[in-house]
Amino acid sequence: MEKSLKSRLAQGEVLVGPLVTLPSPEVAEIMAGVGFDYLWIETEHAPMNLAQAQMMIQAVGGRCPCVLRVPENAEVWIKRALDVGCDGIVIPQIKSAAEAEEAVRCCLYPPAGKRSVGIGRAHGYGLSFQEYVEVANDQLAIILQVEHIDGVRNIRSIAATSGIDAILIGPFDLSGSLGLLGQIDHPRVREATCEIMRHCQAAQVPVGMFAVDPGAARQCIDDGVSLIALGMDVLYLSKSAKQALDEVQPGDP
């Protein structure tokens, strides 16, 4: 039996996947065929609704796990996202242990949490309802995103929250919360990032990070990051198209 994303995270495997922001089943299908460890389906910043996200997960067809980032840490978004049948969920802007605990409770069925019961794709549209609810709590990867200086200040208690499978650092929003928007290599941003990693590693919680290119990803791995979000579909598309055009139409000498 193939290992779940949750179990692979727990075993410390290095997992690499792209952000998929275009609401296209074909794009998701192509990305799944490349061989990534997982796909990150993006609904926080992308022009994508949950029906489109579900169609993308269906197009992947189980060839690799799909995690879905919700727009905010809110029960209504979390329960609706989980019902489409994702393998993991990314919950943004966690700033305190109380927010972390609430996110986990929303992800888990009672008695461990307070996830409400519905019937959707995750439950086989009712055909596998009982089988799903019996294992959902044990198989869902819950990934919380720390991307604000307030979250850094509370990282010790956030990392100690029971039920989380990884903490993902958002370097760009973190830089913005420090008044250094986009300066992700600034010493203060790097210091905050290291603070998150230090407390996560002490609590034995896997750390995730967005890497814009392979060089950044390799540095993340060297630093002890095991969940890598490597680039995104629109960047792969634009970079490849620009490179092809430049090779055919070189600039004037």
* Residues marked as catalytic: 45
Cβ atoms 118, 79 nearer than 8 A: yes
Q: Which residue has tokens 């969940």? A: 227
DSSP secondary structure string for all residues of the chain:
-PPPHHHHHHTT--EEEEEE-S--HHHHHHHHHHT-S-EEEE-SSSS--HHHHHHHHHHHTTSS-EEEE-SSS-HHHHHHHHHTT-SEEEE----SHHHHHHHHHHHS-TTTS-PPP--SGGGGGGTTHHHHHHHHHHH-EEEEEE-SHHHHHTHHHHHT-TT--EEEE-HHHHHHHTT-TT-TTSHHHHHHHHHHHHHHHHTT--EEEEESSHHHHHHHHHTT--EEEEEEHHHHHHHHHHHHHHHHSPPP-
**Looking at the DSSP assignment, which residues form a beta bridge with residue 209?**
169, 228
Cβ atoms 231, 249 nearer than 8 A: no
